[in-house]
Structure 1
């Protein structure tokens, strides 16, 4: 019997980090292992995506220490910060997994954004294959990083089977899910909700405050000073508590300025939650027409207007909930996603 394909899933820092990208990584390790691959997480320590020279050298040594023939499946958060010459010299098949281009992160200094673009573009050029997790990321890699289409494969995140939620309470209960970071747009959301002080509703915000403490502290201060008691910060929730948060919601609101995909949006429509989101990045594609209302990113008055429509129009909520649930049933499973990635790994190994 031939030996199972050996894969090292390369990631920066703690694989348990509470973000959509790391959740995708964890699930792919589990699914690919269940499918018969010999796969293990390979952690790179350091200040990614801006490691020091010593951390870069240590990361390259870690990659080079893998067994010959091991396929390196590298999360773009680490890969894009490593030098192309060093990656090319490792002598292992190399596959990039790109959630979100590094240079497009919200709030970056222009000089740093240019540095990350140059580094990521060079690193991608020495990969044997590139996996994009959304059509938006695919387009960005084609248009901004000059990656040929034939070198890329699309592997959209999967979703778990989930029961439909009622989504019919009055007054409506809003839920927002995402880490408290600038790109998630919570300041814009609070600005929008300030324009709705004549309406009855509540909002639960689910998301870790650990990734950007300064942003999290600012949001916490704003919520603490809110003139009404209808907004709660729930922090990071485990799977069971998150499931309860979805079940107790009537509207998903997602004010992100940019999304590489938006896994929480897929989770919401899978459960039949009508959505108000932005068109930032892939979010407008992840939520199809008929499943929600979409507004330009960063536009608080437009977000407020869309929320006002959905909060005050119960029939519209029901119609969009029906559309969301129907669209959610067509989403791929995690096994589908893993099968796509497995084919890429087997191809480069051969």
Structure 2
């Protein structure tokens, strides 16, 4: 049996997001299991590639030899429907879906519908689909006509971490996520304004490069609410451990998550979590680890944060629950093992 696989990805593999971090760890894991992994960059701009980028990506994939096994990141695969229809008979295609493209926040309805239709067509031509959560698996079965037997769930691995032991005189609220609409930082800032009378500081870690308009809007919101001295936008950071180790509370108001690797990292560090009941977040964050509120409900988010800030004993109880939950999360060896098992079964 061939132990060679191509891993095709859009953009730059070193991009500091959860999705790209997942790709890097899977590639590393497969290599450790004896696979010869060839990397294939598909170009920038996905899932909105230019016509020329899309043409070149399709051409690069079409050069693969008959019978080649190829894993294609869903950020690109979701708009490679025409290519998948042409080439699926001669290639062994594994689609990696972090979350369906249509569920990205902020796109007009016509764009969401187009993404849905194209990704549904593309997935119909994949030999197999790997997703990062059971929630996404259920969505693909219910809304994209993907047979459940065709799907494997490979949740992101989580590295073991020492428990956070903050020494802050003023409680520190940490949020980590790219400055995009889906991450809901605007809701978090609105919630923090509602509890301005309480003692807290906040830091938001995340790149502004993916959505400059949202990033600028967030800066303006913080300034206009008079919170510039209390909320720090830290930008993109290569290492997150120091931030996680020094925080008292982790808060992220995502409007949707296909998994939410950063929540798992917060659990591993024993941070009590305040988040929204959206996508796979309830699958990652158990009741004993934090408080989940409705999406886009700044009032409920403020109440949850306020309860943890006002009651140190409650904060400790949730922190204990978070650390225990984090200790049960699988490592990256388990994630890579699922890919390995699936690739071995492909003819």
TM-score, normalised by the number of residues in structure 2: 0.96
CA distance in 2, matches of 1:65, 1:5: 19
Higher alpha-carbon deviation: 226-235 or 111-120: 226-235
Q: CA RMSD in A?
A: 1.5
**Residue 324 of structure 1: aligned partner:** 322
CA distance in 2, matches of 1:86, 1:269: 38
Q: Equivalent of 1:63, from 52, 61, 64?
A: 61
The question of 1:343 aligning with 2:330 is answered: no
**Residue 271 of structure 1: aligned partner:** 269
CA distance in 2, matches of 1:133, 1:224: 37
Given that 1:223 and 1:232 are in contact with CA atoms closer than 8 Å, whether structure 2 keeps it comes out as: no
**Residue 25 of structure 2: aligned partner:** 27
CA distance in 2, matches of 1:188, 1:81: 30
The question of 1:129 aligning with 2:128 is answered: yes
CA shift, 1:31, in A, is 1.1
CA shift, 1:169, in A, is 3.9
CA distance in 2, matches of 1:257, 1:143: 20
Q: Secondary structure at the match of 1:290?
A: helix
CA shift, 1:135, in A, is 1.2
**Residue 97 of structure 1: aligned partner:** 96
- Listed one character per residue, the Cα deviations across residues 46-93 of structure 1 (whole Å, up to 9, x for unaligned) are 431123443332212101212443211011110010124544426210
Task: Provide runs of 4+ in structure 1 moved above 6 Å.
Answer: none
Given that 1:277 and 1:284 are in contact with CA atoms closer than 8 Å, whether structure 2 keeps it comes out as: no
CA distance in 2, matches of 1:135, 1:251: 26
Q: Secondary structure at the match of 1:273?
A: coil
Q: Secondary structure at the match of 1:72?
A: strand
After TM superposition, the structure 1 = structure 2 runs for residues 1-350 of structure 1, keeping only pairs within 5 Å, are 5-84=3-82, 86-89=84-87, 91-167=90-166, 169-228=168-227, 229-239=229-239, 242-348=240-346, 350=347
Q: Secondary structure at the match of 1:197?
A: coil
CA distance in 2, matches of 1:98, 1:5: 23
CA shift, 1:26, in A, is 1.0
Given that 1:288 and 1:327 are in contact with CA atoms closer than 8 Å, whether structure 2 keeps it comes out as: yes
CA shift, 1:19, in A, is 1.2
CA shift, 1:168, in A, is 6.4
**Alpha-carbon distance change, 167 to 138 in structure 1, aligned in 2, over 3 angstroms:** farther
In the alignment, structure 1 segments of 5+ residues that lack a partner are none
Q: Secondary structure at the match of 2:72?
A: strand
CA distance in 2, matches of 1:106, 1:283: 16
Given that 2:181 and 2:214 are in contact with CA atoms closer than 8 Å, whether structure 1 keeps it comes out as: yes
**Alpha-carbon distance change, 18 to 87 in structure 1, aligned in 2, over 3 angstroms:** farther
Q: Secondary structure at the match of 1:308?
A: helix
Given that 1:291 and 1:323 are in contact with CA atoms closer than 8 Å, whether structure 2 keeps it comes out as: yes
CA distance in 1, matches of 2:266, 2:85: 38
CA shift, 1:153, in A, is 0.4
Give the aligned length: 345
Given that 1:167 and 1:251 are in contact with CA atoms closer than 8 Å, whether structure 2 keeps it comes out as: no
CA shift, 1:145, in A, is 0.5
